[in-house]
Amino acid sequence: MIMKGNFIYADNAATTRMSDSVLEAMLPYMQEHYGNASAVYRIGRDSHQAIEQARKRIAKVINAGPMDIYFTSCGTEADNWAVKGIARKLAEEGKKHIITSCIEHHAILHSCEALEKEGFDVTYLPVDEKGRITPEQVKDAIREDTALVSIMYANNEIGTIEPVAEIGQVCHDAGVLFHTDAVQTAGILPIDVKAQNIDMMSVSAHKFNGPKGVGFLYCKRNLHPQTFMDGGAQERGHRAGTENVAGIVGMAQALEDAKNARDEIAPKLAAMRDYIQSGLLEIPDSQVNGDQDHRLPGTLNMSFAKVDGQSLLFSLDLKGIAASSGSACASGSLDPSHVLLALGLPYELAHGSLRITVGRYNTMEEADQIIQAVKEVVADLRN
């Protein structure tokens, strides 16, 4: 059942609708093959096989080995695990410094803050007015005691894509590990962990038409992350807990589907996003936030002077349009986005922001309706 009629979903950076092929792939693992993957009998072995098959399929898409993939319950868990797991492990060698950026998702920022309370030192790199971090900045921040650099592949609020391969290179030259939060990127841009110098990477299925509540951490061979959940021997003893078999199978299907459709879908999303952008730039005192030369194809972040972002969202909701003012995690709080403030936006413009993220189920007809609705709402709110 697809909600249509008055409803337009334009918040695909928050989550996406699951595709039919993913749902179909998952269904057998709900009622038919429900065995515990650790069990020795037939339906248990079926589940085990499905998980290992999914691991291989996922690894292939990112040019990793199957044993480098650790399934998690979400992107947030993968981020927590990467940052805290490596920091605590390398602290034993006296390395207690972490480098990240000030525009990371809260899963990274709050993990770093938690480590600071444990006595770690964290450098939060600033970004330029488009949200970019340079490899030179990272290089200059690396110290003798740096354990890890964690820089996101692409930002969830403004879509800015960071030069991860070059950052990874700088890290490797200095003998420092490099983690990237690729939650917004996986399924949208090509990823090759080897060519891009990525040692660890977080991914979440629900951002690319897969199920919610499942993700993975890629962790380079022989770099075993510190065990994150204690318990059984799942995930080679590193992450206990009975596996979400259906979710894992769905994630593999979603990632493969996304890869196969990428060349067709990415230009379509970019064209739709650009079309909405030009329509909305006709609104006086409006601006685009982010880097228009290095940006995720479906992401548009704009600010409208003298408009409150929350009121904008409520009015759009009344018109049946689901959009965001930034990250879903930040909405509900009235603080302006930490990402927009990091770009140097004045408080007022950071408050008047709107994030529209289109996905594979959006149409050009919807793009027209979005433009019209936002124009009306902004005019109303300014009156």
Ligand X SMILES: *Cc1c(COP(=O)(O)O)cnc(C)c1O
Q: Of the candidates 19, 137, 156, 253, which one interacts with ligand X according to CB under 6 A?
A: 156
Q: Strands, DSSP E only, in the chain?
A: 8-9, 69-72, 97-101, 121-125, 146-150, 177-181, 200-204, 215-219, 286-288, 299-304, 321-322, 353-357
Q: From the list 150, 197, 204, 301, which residue makes contact with ligand X (rule: CB under 6 A)?
A: 204
CB of 184 to ligand X, least distance (A): 5
Per the residue annotation, which of 112, 171, 219, 329 is the catalytic one? 329
Dist CA 80 CA 63 (whole Å):
23
Q: How many CA atoms lie within 13 A of 116 on its CB side?
A: 12
Cβ of residue 107: shortest distance to ligand X, in angstroms?
5
Q: Which is nearer to ligand X, 15 or 287 (CB)?
A: 15
> Of residues 85-114, which lie at the interface with ligand X (CB under 6 A)?
105, 107
Hey, which residues between 214 and 273 contact ligand X (CB under 6 A)? 215
Whose Cβ is closer to ligand X: residue 19's or residue 315's? 19
Residue 108: CB minimum distance to ligand X, A: 7
- DSSP assignment, residue 324? B
Q: Which amino acid is at 86?
A: I
Q: Which residue's CB is nearer to ligand X, number 311 or number 331?
A: 331
The 3-class secondary structure across 97-136, one letter per residue, is EEEEECCCCHHHHHHHHHHHHCCCEEEEECCCCCCCCCHH
Asked if residue 203 binds ligand X (CB under 6 A), the reply is no
329 is catalytic: yes
Q: How far is the CB of 275 from ligand X (least distance, A)?
A: 24
- Give the integer Cα–Cα distance in Å for 78 and 217: 5
Residue 320 in tokens: 């049946």
Binding site for ligand X (CB under 6 A): 74-76, 79, 105, 107, 152, 156, 181, 183-184, 204, 206-207, 215
Residues annotated as catalytic are 329
